Structure formats: C-alpha cells, structure tokens
Chains A and B, each alone.
Chain A
Amino acid sequence: MHPLARLLVSGIVSAVLLGLGIASAAAQSAAQSPTLDAVKKRGRLVCGVNGALPGMSLHNALGEWEGLDVDLCRAVAAAVLGVSTKVDFVPLPADRRFDALRAGTVDLMARNTTVTLQRDAAQGVQFAAVNYYDGQAIVVPRDSTVSELADLRNGSICLTRGSTHELNLQNWFRVRRLSVRPLAFADESAMYDAFLAGDCVAVTQDATALISTFVRRNKAAGVRMLPDIISREPLGPYVRAGDTGWLDVVRWTHYAMLEAEELGLTQANVDQQRRESHDMLVRNLLGQIPGNGRALGLDETWAYNIVVQVGNYGESFERNLGARSPLGLRRGLNALWRNGGQMYPLPVR
C-alpha cells in the first residue's frame, strides 16, 4: 500500500477508536457514590479486616499490616486517593463484620469472607469480587513424596468427625473410584496433634484454617499443602448495597490487579511499560487511553497507581501466601485462567 494511503487508513482506525471512546464516555459518566465521596473527603480509606490471619490480614511483629486482603485495601486507596498507605485497618470479629459494614464503621470489608447466596442477597451488603478461592485443602509433611490428592489413595487422612470435610473427602475419592482411610477425631486440636505425631499421612480442613494453625503452632516450615481444593469457599470483599459506584471501584481494583498480571505489568516494570508500550490493552489499563477512570469517578492513573504502589495480583499473592511467604502456597485455583486457575480478569476497557 502507498505510504500516504497507509497513513490515511491508520488515521481512520484512530478515528474509529476515538469514536468508540467518545461514545462510551458520553454514555458512562460515573455513578453517584456516597462512599467514594466520603473517602475522598476524608483522605483515608477505612478497611475492615481479620487482623489475625497470616497471609490474609495480620498486624505483624514489626507492627506492619500485611496480607492479601490488606493489599486489596491498599490497592483501593491507591486507586481512589493516589496513595496506597492512606488506609486505616479495623480488625473485626466474624460475628460483627457485617453490622460494622452496614453501620458505616468501615468503607469496605476485606476479611476472608466467603461469598454465598444468602450473604450476597441479604439486606444491606453485596460482594464486589472474589479475591481468593479458598476451600477444603490437604496438608502433608514437607518431605512427603505425595504431590497431589490422588496420590493419597489407600492412605490415612486425619479429619474431624462428622464435619463437611469428612463428607467432601469421601465423596472426592468415591467419584474417582479410589479409596481412602479417614482417621476421625472429635476435635481439631487432637486431629492436628495426631497428624504432627505421624499417625496419618495427611490432614484436611479449609485451606486458611490449615495455614493459620500451622503458622500458629510454628510448624509451617515442616508441611506442604497439596494443590487440590475440593470444596468451594470463595472469599471476597463486601460493600454496602445501594452504592454501586463504590462496588465498581472495589471490583475493578481487583480486576486491574489481575489484568496487570495477565499483561505482565509489575511494580518493577510498570514505569517503563507506561513509557514504551504500544499495546492498547496496556495503554488502556494505565490510563494513557482515557475512559476507565472517568467511568469509575477516579483519576485516569488509578490502575497505574495500583500497580506501581501495590503490584499485580500475582505479586501480592506470592509475597503474602506464595513462594515468597512463610506459607509457601501454590497458586492452584488462584492462578490465572490461562494457567488452569479461576482468576479471569474481566476486560478493563
């Protein structure tokens, strides 16, 4: 094609893109959001967290907050206020967490809370996203030769008697036409004692409870979690119902972290990528092509601020729960969808 014609066509393509951008911008002014307005006015985000759960939200020995939920709060602060450190963390007990959210004590609750129908549809609150796929997991000694659950066929597994864990485990082996020998205990403490004494080759419970127990008992270095998750406990942040503009901010903060991971954007390379990348998906996410920020009522640098200050989802996972943490968890269900996991970044455009 003649160079002039090429220029003309690329101009037409740009015009088409511009046209799309204008059309969507016109259609999508940001929603009214009392919480977003309040956070901006206050200059700080108030985040309800667990506070005592290693990997998810913990006030550590140095007096610093750390965890996957903590990072989500920081990412929301980076998106809304431009500064990820402007967060007040409020530890909430399980039985008060929804009341605290409804009462407006916190702007957002990121407290390893399972998303369920009856919570989502309940008066007053809604989940914004799933930031961790938890569920029943299996732990083996670190030096075990077992690499996946099927390897435990005919093995003895410690569990609590009459629990859903027992049913789930039996069911998992039965549908695969394999057998397993459950060793059942009346209480959790006795179950963990038996496992640590070598009475069974594995122990099963919800993944976060397993992690928490071994860290608390100072035994995390001696054990390893198998990648199989055999029940559904999707954890996610909740917001007050009726403030959809705020729900959008929290939801798309999470998806921006996933999208950054999928596009290979990290804390370390995001500045360079922002200067040099011609990929429109990158330019869209980082705000050089405007529109997302406006639709959310945020600065167009919102997602750039998240990535440069907090990192992408994979970075947050690895330092809090994964290879770079004492927990050493594998991504498993929390891997990107391309890598066999459930984390699917909805298009940030």
Chain B
Amino acid sequence: MRLVAIVLAAGVLLPLAVPASAQSTLDAVRKRGTLVCGVNGAAPGFSMQDAAKQWQGLDVDLCRAIAAATLGDATKVSFVPLTAERRFAVLEAGEIDVLARNTTVSLQRSAGAHARFAAINYYDGQAFVAPKRLKLTRVSGLADKTVCVTKGTTHEFNMAAWFSLRGFTVYSLAFDTQDAMYAAFFAGRCQAVTQDSTALAAAIVQSGKAEDYMMLPDIISKEPLGPYVRNGDSPWLDVVRWTHYAMLEAEEREITRNNVDGKLEAKDVNVQILLGVRPGNGKILGLDEKWAYNIVKQVGNYGEIFERNVGAGSPLKFGRGVNALWTKGGAMYAPPLR
C-alpha cells in the first residue's frame, strides 16, 4: 500500500491513523500516542524537511500544536507527504488524522459527505512567475503561451476561468507533483508557472536563481488555505479549529513561547482562561486544561510561527498582509476562547 510504503521509507512504523469503524479521531490519537498529519512535504515555509531532516513550516507547526494540545507533546507527530491529487482520498480512508497541506478551502471541497475544513491558517492567492527575459508585465501577456500547473488543483480551474473571461487562450501543461512542475518550468518547457503566491516565491527562492525570474503583479484568485478533517467527527474538528484560534488568541494577548510561564500569573481574565488557570475550555474540548499553554510553550503563537517559517525570520521574508491580526489590518480573527 502506497501510504505504508511512504511511511516505511521515512523510517517510521505506524498503524493506520484510524480504524474505519472508529468515530472518534481524538480517542484514536490518544490511544496511538502519535498524531498522523498529512502534509505537502515539498513546500518551503509550509511543510518540508530541512537539511537536518527536521520538519519545518506553518502547516507543520499547526500539526505540532495539535499534538501539544491533544498529547501534551508537540514532537509526537508523524508527517505523511501527500500529492495534491490523493490528499482527500487519504484523509477519507482514515490514513491520516488531519490534512494540513496548503489546501484551498472551497464549497465543493467542504460540503457533501466527505471532508470539512476546520479553520483558515493562511490567506493566499494565485499568482504567476515568468522568466525576466520574456519581459512580461501582466498575466494577460501569457495569452497563447504555455503555463505549467499542478493537476487537480484549483489553480488549473482559476487560470482557465481568468483567461476565458478575457477572451484569451492559454495552454496548460499539467503535472502530478509540484517538483515535476517546477522542474519543467526551470527546463523551459513552459513560459510561466502558476500556484499560490507564497508557494511560488518559496520555489523561486529555493531554486537559487531568483534574479532570473519575476512574479507578475496580478493575483487572480482568493486562496484561503486551511486544515481539513473527516466529516462527522465534530469534536475532532473543534480540537483542530480551536488549536488554530488559540495560537491567534495568544498572539493577540502577546503571549509567547518565552513569556508564557510568567503569564500564568497574569491578572487578565482572558489570559487566565486561555492558559487554563481558569478551567473550562479544556474540559469542553475533551483536553487537558493546559492544552493551550502546551501549544504556546512548545510551538508558539501564530505570529511566532509565521515569522520563523515564512516571515522575517525565514528566507522567504513575506509580510503579514491579510494574515495580520484583525487589530492590525489583517483577516486573522479568533472568536473568543471562553
């Protein structure tokens, strides 16, 4: 079986994430003692192994935060790299507990009998990168040209929609994996490559040839990215959703990895509730009351994970933009954790 092969190749022996009959993913995770997280694996800033074979990224840190919340230990995660095409089938088959794979949230992916998104952990948008020597200034300059794209993604749909609306034609060259897509692009098989702006920027930075390429200024879609869980297990959806919101709340309350122990003494009721000094949230989620404390202590708040993975503390240097807190002009807003 493909997943088992991947897992074995990674040197980790695991049972399947959830027996098909089980309703409660939370119970299964606890019993197993490890969270199984489906990730991209080749997306700098979101999920990738570094040179020291350590997993890094915004999605990786979300997985670690869920492990901290449910198991009290952020390191108890097995990461399973998945292709875009197979990701939902793997989730629905119960082979992973959560899919955190820079996946766009949309109606047809989050309705019906199958998966549900739990939150939005990154607001992105689709862009295009082309070689500077083509001297393109806008996406419309790609009319009648060939663009490399990943098969089965919303990018394929958005690109066709954008060109069709403007009466232009574009040739799509579709690949199963991002690696194959970028390899084809750098080999000159297409005049441009399209993906979410962050993934594009990461790939170009990583190529070491950033000075030869440019991102065209048009952003052609909304791509809100978020973790998905199986339908019908709402307690587990709640755990994933409020794990993300706890990281936002910690940022808004200025609680960091470094100061969280001191904040246990805070007089602010909101801080006391978040950190479990005043109990209630943990019990209702089926977690230890220290769940959010463990997230912040072991992983950090949302701003910290943003900065180290994609922001100023990373090679990517993305600004917060729409991903800033609502108090700072962005769209990151957590409902009250009380």
Within 8 A of B (CB), among A293-349: 295-296, 333, 337, 340, 342, 344-349
Assess whether B231 is in contact with A295, with CB atoms less than 8 Å apart: no
Number of interface residues of B (CB under 8 A): 56
Contact A344/B222 with A1-B169, A117-B337 known, Cβ cut-off 8 Å = yes
Assess whether B116 is in contact with A117, with CB atoms less than 8 Å apart: no
Q: Does A115 sit within 8 A of B, measured CB to CB?
A: yes
Mark contacts of B99-124 with chain A using CB atoms, 8 A cut-off: 1 yes-contact digit, 0 otherwise: 00000111111111110100010010
Contact A348/B338 with A28-B114, A232-B333, A342-B333 known, Cβ cut-off 8 Å = no
Mark contacts of B34-76 with chain A using CB atoms, 8 A cut-off: 1 yes-contact digit, 0 otherwise: 0000000000000000000000000000000000000000000
Q: Which one, B157, B171, B336, contacts A114 given CB within 8 A?
A: B336
Within 8 A of B (CB), among A1-34: 1, 6, 9-10, 12-13, 16-17, 20, 23-24, 27-32
Q: Does A116 sit within 8 A of B, measured CB to CB?
A: yes
Q: Does A279 sit within 8 A of B, measured CB to CB?
A: yes
Number of interface residues of A (CB under 8 A): 57
Q: How far does the Cβ of B106 sit from chain A's closest Cβ, in whole Å?
A: 4
Mark contacts of A60-93 with chain B using CB atoms, 8 A cut-off: 1 yes-contact digit, 0 otherwise: 0000000000000000000000000000000000
Chain A CB within 10 A, most for which of B161, B224, B329, B331: B161
Mark contacts of B117-150 with chain A using CB atoms, 8 A cut-off: 1 yes-contact digit, 0 otherwise: 0001001000000000000000000001000000
Assess whether A133 is in contact with B238, with CB atoms less than 8 Å apart: no
Assess whether B114 is in contact with A27, with CB atoms less than 8 Å apart: yes
Q: Does A166 sit within 8 A of B, measured CB to CB?
A: no
In angstroms, Cα B161 to Cα A252, docked, is: 21
Residues of B within 8 A of A278 (CB): 164-165
Assess whether A17 is in contact with B160, with CB atoms less than 8 Å apart: yes
Within 8 A of B (CB), among A245-300: 245, 248, 252, 255, 278-281, 291-292, 295-296
Assess whether A121 is in contact with B322, with CB atoms less than 8 Å apart: no
Residues of B within 8 A of A215 (CB): none
Residues of A within 8 A of B15 (CB): none
Residues of A within 8 A of B169 (CB): 1, 6, 9-10, 13
In angstroms, Cα B266 to Cα A188, docked, is: 29
Interface with A: B189-197, B280-288, B298-306, which one? Answer: B280-288
Assess whether A347 is in contact with B104, with CB atoms less than 8 Å apart: yes
In angstroms, Cα B88 to Cα A253, docked, is: 24
Assess whether B106 is in contact with A349, with CB atoms less than 8 Å apart: yes
Contact A117/B157 with A242-B234, A278-B165 known, Cβ cut-off 8 Å = no
In angstroms, Cα B289 to Cα A117, docked, is: 13
Within 8 A of A (CB), among B265-283: 280-281
Contact A280/B161 with A16-B156, A291-B108 known, Cβ cut-off 8 Å = yes
In angstroms, Cα B333 to Cα A234, docked, is: 9
Q: Does B177 sit within 8 A of A, measured CB to CB?
A: no
Q: Does A244 sit within 8 A of B, measured CB to CB?
A: yes
Assess whether A16 is in contact with B280, with CB atoms less than 8 Å apart: no
Q: Does A122 sit within 8 A of B, measured CB to CB?
A: yes
Q: Which one, A9, A28, A292, contacts B171 given CB within 8 A?
A: A9
Q: With contacts A133-B333, A337-B123, A344-B222 known, what are 6 further pairs, Cβ within 8 A?
A: A12-B172, A31-B113, A116-B337, A242-B232, A342-B326, A344-B120
Nearest first, the 3 A-B pairs at minimum CB distance are A28-B112, A280-B161, A347-B106
Q: Which of A's residues lie within 8 Å of B, judged by CB?
A: 1, 6, 9-10, 12-13, 16-17, 20, 23-24, 27-32, 114-118, 120-122, 126-127, 130, 133, 232-234, 241-242, 244-245, 248, 252, 255, 278-281, 291-292, 295-296, 333, 337, 340, 342, 344-349
Give 18 A-B contacts (CB < 8 Å), ordered by A residue: A10-B164, A16-B172, A20-B156, A28-B114, A30-B112, A30-B113, A31-B113, A32-B113, A121-B285, A232-B333, A232-B336, A242-B232, A280-B164, A292-B107, A292-B108, A333-B326, A340-B329, A347-B223
